[in-house]
Structure 1
Amino acid sequence: MKYISTRGNAPELAFDEVLLTGLAKDGGLYVPKEVPQFTLEEIESWRDLPYTELAHKVIYPFVEGCVEADALKQMLEEVYNNTNFGHKAIAPLQQLDHNEYVLELFHGPTLAFKDFALQLLGRLLDYVLEKRQEKVVIMGATSGDTGSAAIEGTKACQNVDIFILHPYGKVSEVQRRQMTTVVGDNIHNIAIEGNFDQAQDMVKASFGDQSFLRGERKLVAVNSINWARIMAQIVYYFYSSLNLGGPLRPMAYSVPTGNFGDIFAGYMARKMGLPIEQLIIATNENDVLHRLMASNLYEVHSLKHTITPSMDIAVSSNFERLLFDLYDRDGLALADLMNQMADRTQSIELSEEKLAKARDLFDSLAVNEEATVETMKQVFDESGYLLDPHTAIGVKAARECRRNANIPMITLGTAHPVKFEDAVNRGGFDMPKLPHHLSDLMDREERLEVLPADLKTVQDFMAQNTFKD
């Protein structure tokens, strides 16, 4: 399997290089040159497979030639088991109403959907780096869940130093402590005196110029620009569909999304042959994608901080991967568009033809804080089921945007409500208890460095702690 850049001016790479590269040299994102295709008969034959075996069927074509089939099998068995995930089904479905479900993706070590990808990514990194006899530096920015999931996924990696940036005072206490209480000499938490987009910009700038690492290390991305994350997330679309009668009938999905990675995985599942009739972009008041879908106007607004911090993102990086397909995989045309989008003072429109192609599959809704809490209350009153606020946005969007009531509507349950005390309190709910493996989280010692939102200061800190020997 070879991978190409969305901007058409970077070398084709094999999977191991894509895993270690992050952004392409031309500033684009890597996507498969050819998408694996499965027939309905093939997919139907997977109906009774456990999660690990299904994951092998879906993922192996993306890594073939770089990862041995047996090695991948062992990694999947180490990740998707009842010791690592707190539910034997790994990704169980919770029914809310007739043909309405929540896919619970929060039973992993950090109680968020990102565990599905980052637990596997850590093992893939170890495998590839061991083969290549290399060491790398992971750098990532998080608005909430990515950081803790990345740290948990890579804390045991022998050949990795990890630096995670988060906006100081702008993630929940549980989210922060899940990052800052993990012990390891290779783990570094940086609290930036700014917002998520400033942290993300510093990550992108560092990938563009890695000279601060003296040519001795390579930066690796764990944010959803890393293809391995998208790849791992495709699996649970197949898994949920097969559990509800797919592929003999189509599904619809509502996906709480900020950076467009999780919903792009659903788009990829559809391209691979899974019948998906509708994908709903569910977002909070940071609604750049909803405004584009609804009124064909791409404008970057100032970031708002909300009770759904994992979606507090003003620019959705992974949307570029969808645009690449909308522009018929014309990398040079897309590069021109992305350069315009990079100028955040501009207002940009897509052609009606491109927008119509997107609207064939995608709908969208932006949900404010009041409606988010109201949806949490409504679902609890209906079923006694407590949603986290991100999932509540997904359920609200599913109910507002649904095209076909005769097929299952599945909202991705992206996180456990215990991580979002503010939203739970505003809904008047009793605070759920932390799962057993996190029961002493509030008593653990924290380790973090508070730094200004200044690129050189952050890079100097990273170099000092990477080359401390």
Structure 2
Amino acid sequence: MQFISTRGGTEPKDYCEVLLEGLAADGGLVVPEYLPEVSAETFESWRALSYPELATEVIGLFATDIPRDELARMCASAYDASRFPNRAIVPLRDIGAGMTLVGLSEGPTLAFKDMAMQFLGEAIEYALGREDRVLNVLGATSGDTGSAAEHALHGRDRVSVFMLSPQGRMSPFQRAQMYSLLDDNIHNIAIEGVFDDCQHLVKQLSEDLEFKNEFNLGAVNSINFGRISAQIVYYVWAWLRASDGVDAADRADFKVSFAVPSGNFGNILSGFYASKLGVPVERLVLASNENNVLDEFFRTGWYRPRSAANTLATSSPSMDVSKASNLERFVFELVGRDPARVAEAWRELAAQGAIDFTVEQLRFADEFRIVSGTSTHADRLATIHEVAEREGVLIDPHTADGVHVAADFVEEGVPMLVLETAKPEKFAATMAEALGRELEPSAEHQELLDAPQRVLNMPNDEDALRLFIAEHALS
């Protein structure tokens, strides 16, 4: 399996190469040369596998340059009991109203990002060792990506992490998870601005090939295809578990829908790829918060990213994203994998601030099975309260966005699988507002909140960031 750029300006590369590269050299995102298809018989042969074994099979469709025994070792380590104490790894739980919660927050940082980042930490270490080189990871986070990345990479000899986060835009728990890591290879930088400002700085430096090559820059946010490939696994797992009780003769046609809280579009993109592999998906339900650029896109065909000033600070902060970087990978499929059309579209975006896909818009729901909706602060509060009262289950604000939007698309006989985003204790203030009571932190979590923190505040200044990286990068 080789990987190409959405904009067509790079030579094909293998999986380990794109793991370390991040953004493609032409400014595009790497995608597989083709999307493999999995037969019903193969899916059935995977049914009895453990999660690490299934991860080996699914990721192995893409990581063909990694020996299978090495890949199996990485997956076993990534999803070990020391990192995921719940041995189901991804448990499924009925939450009523025709919905099932897909538990993606059993890892070390209590967020779904661990599902990919724990694997990516293993894979990057392997790739760097194979090439005897180092990597300086430059990333941006709206909350959970940063802590998941840092907890996967801290203490590793060949990797240094420079993680940008927006000042004052994350919850106290999210900040504590990141800023309390005091390892020498972890550099937390709080940027004066919003997440999109952080993401823009990452893109500016990544597109400067001379700087990128001089300082061995790479990325581990969702532009890294290694993360996308690892996220496909839990869609396959969830469908296998949801269809366990179905007669064997009917399983191949047993469809489910997935509701996905969406900010940067990486998670739901993985679900789209899973459907292309052959997972029987009825609908992919994209849930936006008040920063509903993606909802507008899927409802109207117009992609209109907002300015930093118009990107709202909401009570589901990890979704406070206006410019969804992974949308380019979806657009690549939307326009028939035509890199020239993708490059043209992004030139149009740079010039006019919007892209018109109204001609293609009918394909969203009809062919790609993607629908969308928006959830507000009042919606998520009511949803958190309702699920707690009805089922005794606490869900975090982002997951509540997914449940709220999913309610409009529940169908008889089609399980609605809502992807959990994080554990509720990460967002204590919003949970207290919704429930009318404070969540009592565990002793372990209180210790985290009280731990010393280290973070560098920095203006939204490209030159200042360049200088800091130049002074602290591994070489």
Amino acid at match of 2:183: G
Q: Which residue of 2 aligns with 1:283?
A: 288
Q: Distance in 1 between matches of 2:199 and 2:158?
A: 24
The aligned amino acid for 1:184 is: D
State the Cα distance separating 1:112 from its structure 2 match: 0.4
Aligned-residue CA RMSD (Å): 1.6
Instruction: Give the C-alpha shift of residue 406 in structure 1.
Output: 1.2
Give the CA deviation at 1:48.
1.7
Structure 1 window deviating more from structure 2 (82-91 vs 231-240): it is 82-91
1:236 corresponds to: 234
Please state if 1:297 is matched with 2:302.
Answer: yes
- Counterparts of 1:146-161 in structure 2, within 5 Å, are 146-161=145-160
Aligned equivalents of 1:25, 1:82: Cα separation in 2 = 38
Contact 1:241 1:247 in 2 (8 A): no
Residue 280 (structure 1) shift:
0.6
Following the alignment from structure 1 to structure 2, what is the Cα–Cα distance between the partners of residues 27 and 317?
11
1:223 and 2:230 matched: no
Given that 2:295 and 2:374 are in contact with CA atoms closer than 8 Å, whether structure 1 keeps it comes out as yes
Cα 1:46–1:431 change in 2 (3 A) is: farther
1:348 counterpart = 2:368: no
Matched, 1:55 2:55: yes
Consecutive unaligned residues of structure 1, counting only runs of 5 or more, are: none
CA distance 1:233–1:40, shift in 2 (3 Å) = same
Q: State the Cα distance separating 1:96 from its structure 2 match.
A: 1.0
- Give the whole-Å Cα distance in 2 for the aligned partners of 1:290 and 1:273: 25
Can you list the C-alpha shifts for 1:234-274, whole angstroms capped at 9, x where unaligned? 00011111111154401100000101100010111110111
CA distance in structure 1 between the aligned counterparts of 2:438 and 2:322, rounded to whole angstroms: 30
Shift of 1:334: 1.2
State the 1:355 CA deviation: 1.1
1:376-395 equivalences in 2 (<5 Å): 376-395=384-403
Matched AA of 2:399: T
- Unmatched runs of 5 consecutive residues or more in structure 2: 244-250
Q: Could you tell me how far apart the structure 1 residues matched to 2:98 and 2:252 are?
A: 16
Q: Which residue of 1 aligns with 2:124?
A: 125
State how far apart, in whole Å, the 2-side matches of 1:75 and 1:221 are: 19
1:375 alignment partner in structure 2 = 383
Instruction: Name the counterpart of 1:409.
Output: 416
* 8 A Cα contact 1:137 1:217, kept in partner: yes
Which runs of at least 4 in structure 1 moved beyond 6 Å after TM superposition? none
Distance 2:443 2:154 in 1: 20
2:247 match = none
Answer yes or no: is 1:336 the counterpart of 2:341: no
TM-score normalised by length of structure 1 = 0.95
Matched, 1:317 2:325: yes
Aligned-partner SS, 1:31: strand
Asked if the contact 1:252/1:409 (under 8 Å) is kept, the reply is: yes
Question: 1:2–1:13: 8 Å Cα contact kept in structure 2?
Answer: yes
- SS of the equivalent of 1:234 reads helix
Provide closer, same or farther for how the CA distance between residues 49 and 431 of structure 1 changes in structure 2, counting only shifts above 3 A: farther
Q: Do 1:365 and 1:401's aligned partners in 2 also have CA atoms closer than 8 Å?
A: no
Match of 2:70 in 1: 71
Number of residue pairs aligned between Structure 1 and Structure 2: 463
In 2, Cα distance between equivalents of 1:359 and 1:303: 27
Counterpart position of 2:105 = 106
Contact 1:212/1:463 (<8 A) preserved: no
Q: Which whole-Å deviations, capped at 9, do the CAs of 1:208-228 have from their partners, x for residues lacking one?
A: 115456x54311111100000
Given the two structures, how large is their TM-score scaled by the length of structure 2?
Answer: 0.94
Contact 1:118 1:149 survives alignment (8 Å): yes
